[in-house]
């Protein structure tokens, strides 16, 4: 097994706790489903969000999920680059896996699909 990074990003329409927690949970679930992973496979999750989002810590949504209590989570502020996508939450999920780099499915949802249109596959749901 090796450790791989899985990228993900989404946007919210409102800077409030409900939207931030909901979209964080949706993004995490898509990453888990598309990559067929379990919390036990996760080394850590690095979460950033843009400075215009300050109503909640996205990690709160993950810590409330069954089986995710022991997964190390870290939130940080995204680099404030002029013209960057607003109201954006980004993930870097470090996972232990036997999959090759080309088998990893990165997930970009909502407005974040514009960040990596080459990787923004439609949802399998």
All structural domains of the chain: 1-113 (3.30.1330.40)
pLDDT score of 121: 56
Determine whether the annotation assigns residue 7 to a binding site.
Answer: yes
Mean confidence (pLDDT) of the chain: 93
Task: List the chain residues with pLDDT less than 50.
Answer: 123-125
**Residue 33 labelled as part of a binding site:** no
75 is catalytic: yes
> Quick one: pLDDT at residue 119?
74
The CA distance from 99 to 29, in Å, is 19
Q: Give the C-alpha separation, 86 to 68, whole Å.
A: 28
Contacts of 6 (CB under 8 A, 6+ apart): 31, 35, 91, 92, 93, 94, 95, 104, 105, 106, 107
Is 63 in the active site? Answer: yes
Catalytic residue (one of 4, 23, 88, 90): 90
What is the model's pTM?
A: 0.90
Residue 4 annotated to the active site: no
Task: Determine whether 34 is an active site residue.
Answer: no
């Amino acid at each position: 097994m090796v450790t791989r990074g899985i990228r993900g990003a989404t946007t919210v329409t409102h800077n409030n706790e409900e939207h931030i927690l909901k979209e964080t949970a949706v993004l995490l679930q898509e990453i888990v489903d598309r990559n067929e992973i379990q919390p036990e496979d996760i080394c850590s999750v690095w979460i950033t969000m843009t400075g215009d989002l300050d109503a909640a810590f996205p990690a709160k949504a993950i810590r409330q999920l069954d089986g995710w209590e022991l997964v190390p989570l870290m939130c940080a502020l995204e680099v404030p680059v002029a013209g960057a996508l607003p109201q954006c939450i980004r993930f870097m999920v470090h996972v232990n896996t036997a999959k090759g780099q080309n088998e990893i499915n990165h997930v970009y949802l909502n407005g974040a699909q514009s960040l990596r249109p080459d990787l923004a596959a439609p949802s399998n749901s």
